[in-house]
Amino acid sequence: MQENILTQLDEAVQAADKNHAMELVTRGLDLGMCASDLVERACIPAMQHLGDLWEEGEIFLPELMLSAETMKAVMAILTPKMADEQKERSTSARIVIGTVQGDIHDIGKSLVAAMLEAAGFQVRDLGADVPLEKFCDEAAAFQAHLVCLSALLTTTMVGQKKVIDLLTQRKLREKMKVMVGGAPVSRRWAEEIGADGYGENAIEAVRVARQLIQGK
Partner 1 sequence: MNLVERIRVRGLLLDGAMGTELQRKGLSAGTPPDLWNLQNPEAVKEIHTSYIEAGSDAISANTFGSSPLRFVAHKSSESWEEITRRGVALAKEVASREVLVAGDIGPSGLLLAPMGPATPEEVERSFAAQAKVMDEEGVDFFIAETFFSLQEILLAARALRSVSSRPFFLSMTFEKRRRGFFSIMGDPIVAAMNAMADTGATAVGANCSLGSADMIEAAAEIRRAVSIPVIIQPNAGQPQVTPEGTVYPETPEGFAENIRKIRRLGVEIVGGCCGTRPETIAAIRAQW
Residue ranges in contact with partner 1 by CB under 8 A: 56-63, 65-66, 101-107, 128-129, 153-159, 184-186, 188-189
Rounded to the nearest whole angstrom, what is the least distance from the CB of residue 99 to partner 1 in the complex?
A: 10
Rounded to the nearest whole angstrom, what is the least distance from the CB of residue 131 to partner 1 in the complex?
A: 11
Calpha distance 155→168 (Å, rounded): 22
CA distances from 101 to 134, 139, 147, 153 (A): 10, 16, 15, 11
Nearer to partner 1, 32 or 57 (CB): 57
DSSP state for residue 182 in the 8-state scheme: S
Nearer to partner 1, 59 or 140 (CB): 59
Nearer to partner 1, 56 or 88 (CB): 56
What's phi and psi for 85, nearest 5 deg? -70, -5
Rounded to the nearest whole angstrom, what is the least distance from the CB of residue 124 to partner 1 in the complex?
A: 20
Q: Which amino acid is at 105?
A: H
Rounded to the nearest whole angstrom, what is the least distance from the CB of residue 88 to partner 1 in the complex?
A: 35
Nearer to partner 1, 108 or 197 (CB): 108
Planar angle of CA 79, 85, 86, nearest 5 degrees:
95
